[in-house]
Amino acid sequence: MWHALKAELIYFRPWLLGGLGIAAFVSTLLTVLARVVDGADGVPGFLAGMFPIIAGMVVAFIAQSYRSEEHRARLLMAGPMVPRQLAGVMVLLPICLVGLGALAGGLFVGAIALLTGPLEAATLPTLGVFAVQFLAYAQMGPLAQEATAARNQRRSRAAVAGWTVFVGAVMFLVASQFILGSAYGVLGQLMTVVAAMVVSAVLYQGRTDFTR
pLDDT digits (tens, 9 = 90+) for 138-165: 999 999 999 998 998 889 999 999 999 9
Q: Does the structure show a pLDDT above 70 at 95?
A: yes
CA contacts within 13 A on the Cβ side of 192 = 28
Distance separating alpha carbons of residues 135 and 197, to the nearest angstrom: 11
3-state secondary structure 43-82: CCCCHHHHHHHHHHHHHHHHHHHHHHHCCHHHHHCCCCCC
CA of residue 79 relative to chain centroid, distance: 27
Expressed in percent and rounded to 5, the helix, strand and coil fractions of the chain are: 80, 0, 20
CB atoms within 10 A of CB 53: 30
CB atoms within 10 A of CB 209: 10
Read off the pLDDT band of 52 (50, 70, 90): very high
Question: Which candidate, 101, 207, 77, places its Cα nearest to that of 154?
Answer: 207
CA of residue 28 relative to chain centroid, distance: 23
Query: Which of the listed ranges 38-42, 82-86, 181-185 does the model predict with the highest average pLDDT?
Result: 82-86
User: Could you state, in order of their start, the residue ranges of all structural domains in the chain?
Assistant: 2-205
Question: What is residue 181's three-state secondary structure?
Answer: coil
Average pLDDT score, the chain: 84
Distance separating alpha carbons of residues 207 and 189, to the nearest angstrom: 27
* Rounded mean pLDDT, 171-192: 82
Question: Which candidate, 45, 24, 35, places its Cα nearest to that of 110?
Answer: 45
Q: Does the structure show a pLDDT above 80 at 109?
A: yes
Read off the pLDDT band of 182 (50, 70, 90): confident
Task: Assess contact for 55 and 19: CB atoms under 8 A.
Answer: yes
Q: Does the structure show a pLDDT above 70 at 69?
A: no
